[in-house]
Amino acid sequence: MKKRKLIYIVASAFAAMLFGSFGSAMSTTVQSKANVQATKIVATTPTKYWVKTNVSNKAYAYTAKLGKKLFKLKTHQKVVFTSTVQRKIKVNGHYRTYRYVKGDNLKGWVNSGYLTEAKINETTTTTPAAGTTTTTGGASTATSTATVKTPVKDPNKTYTPDQGVSWPTTNITYAFIPGMSVTEKQLWYTAVQDWNSLGVVSLIESDDYSTANIKITNVDSRSSGADEDTVGISYITSSKDKNAAGFQTMKSATIGILPDQVMKFGFDYAYTQFIAVHEFGHALGLAHSTDKGDVMYPYEEDPATQKITTADLNTLQYLYNRQ
């Protein structure tokens, strides 16, 4: 069966839209001397990376355009690499992002999916927040200031990529668009149970669709960002204001399934329910994963095996300061 797309759109008052898709290509191991096409090299903010702990033995760093294997990534997982440029390389008809990394006399182009950002010598810092004053028993008492954490990932854990945003609280409301059927709601209720069972956030149903943090709706196939293969979509807005966990603050999320597309492709209940779990992940701040087993993996594998994994959980804990 041809794979279909799940899309999420992240909008910020200070940044351009970012697109992610759930599409038809399956991830494949890149071989040396592959028939590839590369886009222009672009400069990025200097960033330090580790090689992911779960990287495959077949993962390598390459010369330009993947012409030659340079070194196996798994044997250099303790090296801190620095990257200042990246490019997209088309392999087997699909573009992937590669970063040029340097470290310990090693250098080469590496698939960004094999890397995780390294937070070196960073500690928790506090920033005074505007305090409020309350009156109790005739005495005026100032409330304590809020703390802002510097996010640090554990190098011994695996993580699903994140959007760099999270809600300012772990109590997050959601509501259904008026008129949604009981059967449709049940798909989302199951997804809510899956995420709530992790003990990181509490998704709480609200009766007020207009004020809920996460709005659940049915999406028209002609909606912005959707194409003929789209079956699920998320619209996320955030600001640059940092929350207590140290991430940009999520302002709103609208998530939905495209019913006409689901019917057109003949998806069963299990797969449609998987879409709901995936879209809720975006609404909580998770991005697309490169691991086929993660529920945030952007390609259809098997709804029976694509579940919320330890990597998904680790990222959720990271985004909400629950590590």
pTM of the complete model: 0.57
Helix (H) or strand (E) segment spanning residue 189 = helix 182-196
Neighbouring CB atoms inside 10 A of 256's CB total 24
Please give the mean pLDDT across all residues of the chain: 75
Q: Which residue has the higher pLDDT, 130 or 44?
A: 44
Answer whether residue 134 is part of any domain.
no
Average pLDDT over residues 39-58: 82
Cα–Cα distance between 27 and 11 in angstroms, integer?
A: 27
CATH number, domain with residue 265:
3.40.390.10
Q: Which residue has the higher pLDDT, 298 or 209?
A: 209
Q: In terms of residues, how long is the chain?
A: 323
Q: Give strand pairing partners of 140.
A: 135
Answer whether residue 69 is part of any domain.
yes
Residues 176 and 281 in one domain: yes
Residues 10 and 102 in one domain: no
Q: Which residue has the higher pLDDT, 130 or 248?
A: 248
Q: Which residue has the higher pLDDT, 221 or 96?
A: 96
pLDDT digit string, tens, across residues 201-215? 999 999 999 999 999
Residues 55 and 161 in one domain: no
Cα–Cα distance between 161 and 241 in angstroms, integer?
A: 21
Q: What one-letter code names the amino acid at 193?
A: Q
Residues 214 and 160 in one domain: yes
Residues 84 and 199 in one domain: no
> What is residue 265's predicted lDDT score, i.e. its pLDDT?
60
Residues 77 and 193 in one domain: no
> What is residue 140's predicted lDDT score, i.e. its pLDDT?
29
Residues 232 and 307 in one domain: yes
CATH number, domain with residue 77:
2.30.30
Residues 103 and 165 in one domain: no
Looking at 117, 147, 168, which one is the last position of a domain?
117
Residues 54 and 172 in one domain: no
Residues 209 and 259 in one domain: yes
Answer yes or no: is pLDDT of 312 > 80.
Answer: yes
Cα–Cα distance between 175 and 213 in angstroms, integer?
A: 8
Give the tokens for residue 142. Answer: 């100032």
How far CA 187 is from CA of 65, 176, 190, 262, 269, in Å, comes to 44, 12, 5, 13, 8
Residues 220 and 244 in one domain: yes
Residues 193 and 301 in one domain: yes
Cα–Cα distance between 18 and 10 in angstroms, integer?
A: 5
> What is residue 253's predicted lDDT score, i.e. its pLDDT?
92
Answer whether residue 87 is part of any domain.
yes
pLDDT digit string, tens, across residues 20-35? 334 322 333 333 334 5
Lowest mean pLDDT among 118-122, 240-244, 299-303: 118-122
Looking at 117, 145, 176, which one is the last position of a domain?
117
Give the tokens for residue 58. Answer: 């077949």
Answer whether residue 51 is part of any domain.
yes
Domain containing 204 equals 5-25+155-319
> What is residue 128's predicted lDDT score, i.e. its pLDDT?
22
Looking at 69, 97, 117, which one is the last position of a domain?
117
Structural domains of the chain, count: 2
Answer whether residue 122 is part of any domain.
no
> What is residue 269's predicted lDDT score, i.e. its pLDDT?
64
Average pLDDT over residues 284-310: 79
**Class of residue 115 by CB neighbours under 10 A (exposed 0-12, middle 13-18, buried 19+):** buried
pLDDT band per the 50, 70, 90 thresholds, residue 76 = confident
pLDDT digit string, tens, across residues 268-288? 666 777 888 989 999 999 998
Answer whether residue 9 is part of any domain.
yes
Answer whether residue 31 is part of any domain.
no
Cα–Cα distance between 285 and 252 in angstroms, integer?
A: 11
Answer whether residue 58 is part of any domain.
yes
How far CA 134 is from CA of 44, 142, 211, 244, in Å, comes to 46, 6, 27, 22
Q: Are 230 and 6 in contact (CB under 8 A)?
A: yes
Q: Which residue has the higher pLDDT, 230 or 96?
A: 96
Which distant-in-sequence residues (6+ apart) come within 8 Å of 169 by Cβ? Answer: none
